[in-house]
């Protein structure tokens, strides 16, 4: 099987994304996770450009990486310096890495307008920089910046840059679509011409995603013979990002028969992608191919019915091959297959003709018609399911709640919530202030319950979303419309989302808050039924 190396530049190119700001500790954690995944090269950064990257190369030496080699990145030397005295090149050598990657200009427009040097002088910069680094590293890569634009503008000069890099000791020429605007057809033609002009030269690909074809371009480059793909986890990067390695790697392994990290490591891909998104503090994109939460999610009843019989009907690979799982969503598009599938997840083997199934389906569609969104609020659906199946245990009951807002010109506005609950046979009456009515309600509700349920102290509200529903309303819509509130909560082990819908935003928030707390109590309840993974007779419905 053909082998291609994966060169990850999340720590350098990926960190140039608008929303990313990595500390040295972040970079160390990500590097260790990439090594665990089986990545071959990790570009740690540009040691000559900032203290964070310089410290990273010092600290990473304390870790024994099993699979990856760390690469230092930099540019060709400054036109005013001799290569052997250039601080940028010196910083790369001082980093003590096995691998160095140098980028140089290959587009004549950039040479004359950005570098402001002559075309021959730029060739000297490329040759001198690579020649200076060559004795100090085991592997030396040349990133041909703006290569495809440069090739289209001045073919002979772009090729001259590559030849100069080869002669100076670069063992890999990485063709960069730096502006990300090259389409796959023209990329193919350029690569073929490079191969004809430089027979036997080892080529790599570094694609940006400004035309939404970075992954396609990377795969096409490999098909044509490139031996290295550069990219980032989750496609992070400047502007529209880089080639997404979470799509490139499984496509190579599972679609093209090209080995890169291997089948066993591939099973770690989804976990690694989510771990890195948490580390960089960017929410995962649910519809991301292969590793997204929605990549194998099924909603329509016809789809679900087929997937239950054979997942291959609507899944292009088995999700477990990339460490993902399939999910069945609940909505007004749901059929009985959706209900039956979710019931089996909860430990029930229900018959499709069971009246309980039709009752639940009708209730689901009624609520979805009001604006409830159970496809993204599965915790609320699980609570609804067990109530419809006869689950009668209540951890608390509402007696009354009230919210007051205090606004004046002298101080910041605040809200006060008063909550009366019946908890274990007693009425508990609490009050709390907060930054807004939802925060005040949340604080008062927890205060009323934590004495009886101390596990709630582990629970945190992670996200809060409000949407005005556009559906027609007898009351006329506008400010009288239904609003939907989604609340994401979590504890040390799990995350879950709940939903509330009402004309009143406070009431919708209360519904979602109560569902969230009930779900936490339910999942922590040692006496709840059914036990996960078991098969149970349906209890009598009250």
352/350 Cα distance (integer angstroms): 6
Domain for residue 531, yes or no? no
Is 461 within the bounds of a domain?
no
Q: Six-digit token pair at 141?
A: 């890569």
- Judgement on whether residues 264 and 311 belong to the same structural domain of the protein: no
222 with 88, same domain?
A: yes
* Judgement on whether residues 246 and 142 belong to the same structural domain of the protein: yes
- Picking from 247, 279, 311, the residue at the C-terminal end of a domain is 279
> Looking at the structure, do residues 321 and 373 belong to the same domain, yes or no?
yes
Tokens for 135? 């004795």
Q: Check residue 475 and give its pLDDT.
A: 52
Residues 97 and 68 in one domain: yes
Point out the domain boundary residue: 373, 388, 403: 388
Asked if 83 and 130 count as a contact pair (C-beta separation under 8 A), the reply is: no
| Structural domain count of the chain | 2
pLDDT at 28: 96
CATH assignment of the domain containing 163: 3.20.20.70
On whether both 75 and 223 belong to a single domain, the answer is: yes
User: For residue 408, is it within any domain?
Assistant: no
CA angle, residues 64, 69, 74, in degrees to nearest 5? 125
In the block, tokens 């609340």 appear at: 487
Inside any domain, residue 51: yes
Which of 62, 222, 61, 228 minimizes the C-alpha distance to 140? 228
* Residue ending a domain, choose from 279, 312, 347: 279
Integer-rounded Cα Rg, in Å, for the chain is 29
With a cut of 50, which residues of the chain have pLDDT below it? 472-473, 530-542
Following DSSP, what letter does each residue of 482-538 receive, concatenated?
Answer: -EEEEEEEE-SS-EEEEEEEESSHHHHHHHHHHHHHHHHHHHH-TT-SSPTT--BPP
Show the beta-strand stretches assigned E in 170-261: 172-177, 203-207, 228-231
Which residues, including other chains, have CB under 8 Å from residue 189's CB and lie 6 or more apart? Answer: none
Task: Identify whether residues 256 and 335 lie together within a single domain.
Answer: no
Residues counted in the chain: 542
Sequence-distant (≥ 6) Cβ neighbours of residue 64 within 8 angstroms: none
Instruction: Examine the domain organization and report whether 179 and 65 are in the same domain.
Output: yes
Residue 239 belongs to what domain range? 5-279
Q: What are phi and psi of 300, to 5 degrees?
A: -65, 140
Predicted pLDDT at 50: 84
Residue 219 lies in a domain: yes
Token output for 445: 């509700």
Has residue 513 been placed in a domain? no
Q: How far apart are the first and last CA of the chain?
A: 61
> What single string gives the DSSP state of each residue in 428-473?
EEEEEEESSHHHHHHHHHHHHHTTT-GGGGG-EEEEEEEEE--S--
Q: What is the mean pLDDT of the chain?
A: 90
């Amino acid at each position: 099987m053909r082998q291609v190396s994966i060169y990850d530049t999340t720590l350098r190119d990926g960190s140039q994304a608008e929303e990313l700001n990595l500390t040295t500790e972040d970079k160390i954690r990500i590097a260790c996770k990439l090594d665990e995944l089986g990545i071959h090269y990790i570009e740690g950064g540009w040691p000559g450009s900032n203290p964070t990257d310089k410290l990273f190369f010092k600290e990473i030496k304390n870790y024994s990486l099993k699979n990856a080699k760390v690469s230092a990145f930099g540019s060709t030397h400054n036109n005013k310096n001799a290569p052997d005295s250039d601080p940028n090149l010196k910083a790369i050598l001082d980093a003590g890495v096995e691998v160095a990657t140098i980028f140089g200009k290959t587009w004549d427009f950039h040479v004359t307008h950005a570098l402001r040097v002559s075309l021959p002088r730029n060739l000297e910069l490329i040759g001198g920089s690579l020649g200076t680094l060559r004795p100090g590293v085991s592997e030396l890569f040349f990133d041909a910046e703006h290569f495809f634009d440069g090739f289209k503008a001045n073919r002979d000069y772009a090729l001259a840059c590559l030849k100069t890099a080869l002669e100076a000791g670069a063992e890999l020429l990485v063709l960069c679509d730096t502006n990300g605007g090259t389409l796959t057809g023209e990329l193919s033609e350029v690569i073929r011409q490079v191969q004809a002009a430089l027979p036997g030269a080892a080529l790599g690909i570094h694609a940006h995603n400004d035309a939404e074809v970075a992954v396609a371009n990377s795969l096409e480059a490999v098909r044509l013979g490139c031996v290295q793909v550069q990219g980032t986890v989750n496609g992070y990067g400047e502007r529209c990002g880089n080639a997404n390695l979470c799509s490139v790697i499984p496509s190579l392994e599972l679609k093209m028969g090209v080995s890169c990290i291997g089948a066993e490591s591939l099973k770690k891909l989804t976990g690694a992608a989510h771990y890195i998104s948490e580390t960089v503090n960017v929410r995962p994109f649910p519809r991301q191919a292969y590793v997204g939460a929605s990549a194998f999610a099924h909603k329509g009843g016809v789809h679900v019915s087929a997937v239950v019989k054979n997942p291959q009907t609507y899944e292009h690979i088995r999700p477990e091959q990339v460490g993902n799982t399939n999910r069945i969503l609940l909505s007004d598009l749901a059929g009985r297959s959706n209900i039956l599938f979710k019931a089996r997840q909860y430990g029930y083997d229900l018959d499709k003709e069971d009246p309980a199934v039709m009752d639940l389906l009708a209730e689901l569609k009624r609520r979805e018609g009001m604006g409830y969104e159970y496809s993204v609020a599965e915790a609320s659906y699980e609570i609804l399911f067990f109530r419809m199946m006869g689950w009668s245990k209540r951890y608390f009951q509402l007696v009354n709640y009230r919210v007051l807002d205090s606004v004046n010109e002298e101080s910041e506005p605040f809200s006060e919530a008063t909550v009366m609950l019946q908890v274990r046979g007693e009425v508990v009456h609490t009050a709390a202030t907060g930054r807004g009515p939802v925060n005040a309600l949340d604080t008062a509700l927890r205060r009323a319950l934590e004495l009886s349920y101390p596990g709630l102290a582990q629970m945190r509200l992670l996200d809060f979303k409000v949407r005005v529903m556009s559906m027609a309303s007898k009351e006329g819509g506008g400010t009288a419309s239904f609003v939907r509130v989604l609340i994401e909560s979590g504890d040390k082990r799990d995350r879950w989302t709940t939903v509330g819908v009402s004309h009143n935003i406070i009431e919708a928030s209360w519904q979602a808050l109560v569902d969230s707390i009930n779900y936490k109590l339910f999942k922590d309840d040692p006496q709840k039924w059914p036990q996960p993974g078991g098969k149970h007779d349906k209890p009598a419905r009250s």
